[in-house]
Amino acid sequence: MNIGIDMMGGDFAPLEAVQGLLLHTQSNHIGVNIFCIGDEAIVRSLLDDHNVSSFNLHLVHTPEVIGYHEHPTKAFKEKQKSSIVVGFHLLAVGKIDAFISAGNTGAMLVGAMFSVKTIPGVLRPTVSAILPKINGGNGVLLDAGLNADCKPEHLNQFAILGSLYSHYIYNIPTPTVGLINIGEEEGKGNILAQATYPILKENNLINFIGNIEGRDFFSDKADVMVCDGFAGNIILKMAETFYDLMALKGMENDSYYNRFHYENYGGSPVIGVAKPVIIGHGISTAKAFNNMIELAIKMVETDLCGKIKESFSTLA
């Protein structure tokens, strides 16, 4: 298995990426090769400084970096020797099996859509996020911000994608799916919610339980929570503040609220593209980078993208 990591992406790159690799080398993953994509001189020096060495680490030199403030499409076309563009090239030609980066989000999405492409049948890829459940489990929220405006058929596909992700990544046999709404009763909500409900109700590929409300996000009512990306991103950003609020109160070590820290999940997978792509926070730490690697490994091991392709082939 070959995992590619953009060493130059992130506010604290490449230092935190290197320290994340140190954490990874201390794990017991056998047969996992990591391709470190970035400025070879800088990366090699940091690897040496932090005593990070392994026969499974391979350096891929890229002299260019796509900055956060660059136009994603323009930069992706013009900076062919950047770590993000080279990473997607390696992914597209099969030299690596998954690609992770905490760099320019827009450029990552451009690469995901146009280099590895969307799985046939998927109308729009989606980005998911995790909402920690009070019972110890993880709820999958999607869309978490990629698709601000959606149609009912998009939410219907997000429900399928989220169910497959929850099943294969979190080992939930039959994930329950809830439609985020302003009330539990059928017929509630705006035009999008009202039109989506009957479609989800008739979808035999998911275990739809009906509408869920904001107070249900952290309970065990639904494993997969579906909404448009506008609402989903607001929910995600609100949830991420819980850890910060608890830290201000000196309660950041609380076993539950600590689970809201983004670094526990590493990054957000782009679900619905042909190969595993994971986008990390710009402020990603070593722990976040290590967890992105862990997620990439699991997505490859479970062949999540292949399972999605199989599922959507039946819809054609």
Amino acid (1-letter code) at residue 64: E
Rounded Cα distance between 35 and 20, Å, is: 13
Strand partners, 138: 132
Q: Has residue 21 got a pLDDT over 70? A: yes
- 12, 283 Cβ separation under 8 angstroms: yes
Residue identified by tokens 């990306």 is 229
Q: How far is CA 88 from the centre of its chain?
A: 16
- How many CB atoms are closer than 10 A to CB 136? 10
Contacts of 157 by beta carbon, 8 Å cutoff, 6+ apart:
122, 123, 124, 126, 272
Quick one: pLDDT at residue 257? 86
pLDDT score recorded for residue 266:
82
Non-local (6+) Cβ contacts of 219 within 8 A are 133, 134, 135
Dihedrals phi, psi of 270, to nearest 5 degrees: -90, 105
**Residue 272: predicted pLDDT:** 96
219 DSSP 8-state letter: S
Record the pTM. 0.92
pLDDT above 90 (res 77): yes
Contact (Cβ atoms closer than 8 angstroms) between residue 159 and residue 226? yes
Q: Is 84 helix (H, G, I), strand (E, B) or coil?
A: helix
pLDDT tens digits, one per residue of 295-312: 999 999 999 999 999 999
Give start and end residues of each alpha helix (H) in the chain.
15-25, 40-49, 72-78, 83-92, 105-111, 152-170, 191-202, 229-248, 286-301, 304-313
Higher pLDDT, residue 54 or 42 = 42
If one counts every other C-beta atom within 10 angstroms of the C-beta of residue 30, the result is: 7
pLDDT of 221 above 80 = yes
**Residue ranges of domains in the chain:** 1-120+272-303, 123-271
Q: What is the pLDDT of residue 316?
A: 60
Average pLDDT over residues 128-147: 93
Q: Are 19 and 46 in contact (CB under 8 A)?
A: no
Q: Name the CATH superfamily for 1-120+272-303.
A: Isopropylmalate Dehydrogenase (3.40.718.10)
d(CA 279, CA 120): 22
Tell me what the pLDDT averaged over the chain comes to: 93
Give the pLDDT band (50/70/90) at residue 26. Answer: confident
pLDDT in tens, 233-282: 999 999 988 888 888 888 878 888 888 888 888 889 999 999 999 999 88
Name the phi and psi angles at 109, rounded to 5. Answer: -70, -40
In this prediction, what percent of the chain has a pLDDT beyond 70? 100
Per-residue pLDDT, averaged over 277-292, amounts to 92
Which residues does residue 38 pair with via DSSP β-bridges, in sequence order? 61
Query: What class does CATH assign to 123-271?
Result: alpha beta
